[in-house]
Chain A
Amino acid sequence: MSHPTSKTGNLDLLEAEAMLVIREVVAELERPVILFSGGKDSAVLLHVALQAYYPAKPPIALLHVDTGHNFPEVLDYRDRVAERYGLRLEVARVQDYIDDGRLVERADGTRNPLQTLPLLDAIAEHRFDAVFGGARRDEEKARAKERIVSLRNEFGQWDPRGQRPELWNLFNPRHRPGEHVRVFPLSNWTELDIWRYIERENIELPSLYFAHDRDVFSRDGMWLAVGEHNTLRPGEVPERRTVRYRTVGDMSCTGAVESTASSIDDIVRETALTTVSERGATRADDRLTEAAMEDRKKEGYF
């Protein structure tokens, strides 16, 4: 039998795939959690999870690894969203680890690499066995090689050479005790897909994704926010500029881009025309070495 159906677009296909992955892994495992930073990718991931279980509540907790250098408007957004949907929110704090000496502040002040230990501890403490992240394969070369369902050993490590083959739409999240899987339902989305979906679904985001005036200074070709977590080095001069963020992360290494895009519509248009990748524009930590992300993933990073 055949029915007249409206044309299925890219976003419908990507949403369908992400819903399938979420439902499948949640059905097969016991304690799923979404890594929720308040960034746009995690906002989209949570939205898709809400769609997958509507009108029921997704049986999934939220986990945020707080570097202590987060933008206040993002933390506020995180708490509001968890509250609105009645989801359990766990927060692992890098600051706690620095305070009691389990971690030591890095010389460059960047805390992104310090997130791995609190993340792995939180996964072990709560015995999370399916850890969902909003990472996309178009972000970075090492990510391009990761499976949608990616096995991590007891140390949280990714073994790029020992990955499971991922066949058809048959996802296999089985693992031994102590191991867990990282799951990336948005693997096949691009940055532009994310913004078009946010526009279509009218998903609320933290305000710093939109153009605003901010005191910034230039370091390594990026605009970093002036604030208590970023001390100016000699020669760095703060200035007020109209900027927005393309990614949301640690204030010490997440750069703003100059932009007047103040609505989602503006951002979709700007993203469609951009010539610089999201991480190239905004992430100092990925510029450290050619294999920076690969190394961190092997250590158990997102």
Chain B
Amino acid sequence: MSTSTLLRLATAGSVDDGKSTLVGRLLHDSKAVMADQLEAVERASKDRGLTDADLALLTDGLRAEREQGITIDVAYRYFATARRSFILADCPGHVQYTRNTVTGSSTADVVVLLADIRHGIVEQTRRHLAVATLLRVPHVIIAVNKIDLVDYDEAAFRAVDQQVRALAEQLGIAHIHTIPVSALQGANVVEVSDKTPWYDGPSLLGLLEELPIEAEELAADRDARLPIQTVLRPQQGARDPRFIEYRGYAGPITQGALAVGDKVRILPSGLVSKVTGIRIGEREVESASAPLSVAVELADSIDIARGDVIVAGEPLPIIAKEVEATLCWLSDRPLRLRARLLLKHLTQTTQVIVNDIAGVLDLDALESRPAQALGLNDLGRVWLKLASPIVAETYGQSRHTGAFLLIDPSDGSTLAAGMIRDARNPDAAREADLRLAARAEAAQDWVI
């Protein structure tokens, strides 16, 4: 049982497209709702004068949300089937939509976007889809909801499906699925409905059980990356005297796998060593793969600290002093040119200066226009100059080595999500190490 896999999904949609009902339906029909929780919903529904239990109330957690009938913040839900366990990040549609969708999408294997079949693809769907693409969520599902309101009409669904395909092509999304559903009636959510004989695909849950999981793909056929969080040196405090001399470099394997005997390189120093031991807590193992948290021992006694990264294989990430990135600006305070901020990347935090604001993305036209500043929910492209180097790859190569936060040094608040497009190291000895973009796959043009 404990070997079933874990899929992370995010749901997003615009106001009144029935997302909370869909999530409630998913939880209810997959038997993830306990009897007392359902009773509470039935009681609250009755208090509001409703005849049927409003499944949306299952997911509205805060008082203000229940009072206003809206969802304010990302909520996390858990359910499981015989085949798989799910972590669902339920992202509200209207308030702070970019901030919430970015948060929910950043760790998701799949995003489920809701569309109302009567309205098709609206502005907010485009925006959500653009954000999911920008964050490189591996799979996107469009749940075309409320088909009961158009009498389960095939033509109405095909029309929305056409719109979705056209937009997906424009955005360059490879894996997109559309499913006709009625969250209210439960059609094609958990069970395939007999009211849509013209639809031969799986139900939403059926599809979620089938999709590949990013963490598993990251574990295989990628060169290992291990950002060091802390160095374990028990010395005299060892719980077991055998470990007085132990020195372990602890952190998560973000991609690939490491095995005892592997040759590795430490960045940014570039020193080479060999793995002599791997632990997952008390367990000693011969090898471990992403995304496990491990501690490794190395053959050579070299100076390694938090912020360094253990890597295997070629090509190496770049030791970046300047970074070009797409930012999702998440703060009320605007970003201005020459701002001095903190950047957190893997386990390294450094000061940065914003050297250039190259443009802001118009999500409707999917093109860039010039900008002097970035405001809340803006997506913009910038060049940053770093005080200390980071071990960088493009976001297209890795959602770990290519991602960073911008932090306000005065109060510690998170200002932006950053995705690396390009990086430079003016001091590099080798031509090939000068610039990352030269060897990375090209990002879509619209991803400014």
A interface, CB within 8 angstroms of B: 1-5, 7-17, 19-20, 23-24, 26-27, 50-57, 85, 137-138, 141-142, 144-145, 160-161, 163-170, 172-176, 187-188, 190, 196, 200, 274-277, 280-281, 290-291, 294
Contact = CB atoms under 8 A, between A and B. Distances in A.
A166 B407 CA distance: 12
Question: From DSSP, what is the main secondary structure of chain B's interface residues?
Answer: mixed
Contacts of A16: 252, 291-293
Contacts of A50: 281
A20 B229 contact: yes
Contact of A55 (B61, B234, B280): B234
B151 interface: no
Contacts of B296: none
Given A141-B61, A169-B107, A51 B347 contact: no
20 contacts: A3-B257, A3-B289, A8-B215, A10-B5, A17-B293, A24-B229, A54-B232, A55-B238, A55-B239, A55-B242, A55-B246, A55-B248, A56-B246, A137-B76, A144-B59, A190-B80, A276-B34, A277-B37, A290-B66, A294-B62
Interface string B270-310: 00000000011110000111011101000000000010000
A277 B345 CA distance: 39
B237 to A, nearest CB: 5
Nearest to B63: A291
- Which of under 10, 10 to 19, 20 to 34, or 35 or more describes the interface residues of B? 35 or more
A172 B289 contact: no
A24 B251 CA distance: 9
B3 interface: yes
Among B1, B233, B262, B399, the one with the most A-chain Cβ atoms within 10 Å of its Cβ is B1
Given A17-B291, A55-B243, 17 more contacts: A8-B215, A10-B5, A23-B250, A52-B293, A54-B232, A55-B234, A55-B246, A57-B234, A160-B62, A167-B103, A167-B417, A168-B106, A174-B413, A175-B412, A277-B34, A277-B36, A280-B34
A187 B76 contact: yes
Given A24-B347, A275-B35, A165 B103 contact: yes
Contacts of B216: 8
A50 B282 CA distance: 9
Contacts of A52: 250, 281, 293
Contact of A138 (B3, B78, B403, B411): B78
A5 B100 CA distance: 35
Interface string B33-70: 01111001000100000000000000111111010000
B259 interface: yes
Nearest to B234: A56
A9 B3 contact: yes
A169 B344 CA distance: 11
B306 A51 contact: no
A12 B344 CA distance: 26
B278 to A, nearest CB: 11
Contact of A168 (B107, B257, B347): B107
* 4 tightest Cβ-Cβ pairs between the two chains A and B: A51-B281, A174-B412, A280-B36, A141-B61
Given A10-B85, A145-B73, A145-B74, A170 B2 contact: no
B414 A164 contact: yes
B239 A54 contact: yes
B223 interface: yes
A51 B2 CA distance: 19
Given A168-B106, A174-B412, A176-B412, A163 B238 contact: no
Given A13-B291, A174-B407, A190-B78, A1 B223 contact: yes
A51 B5 CA distance: 22
A31 to B, nearest CB: 16
A36 B107 CA distance: 29
B404 interface: yes
Given A5-B288, A19-B281, A167-B417, A26 B5 contact: no
B229 A144 contact: no
A13 B216 CA distance: 11
A145 B77 CA distance: 9
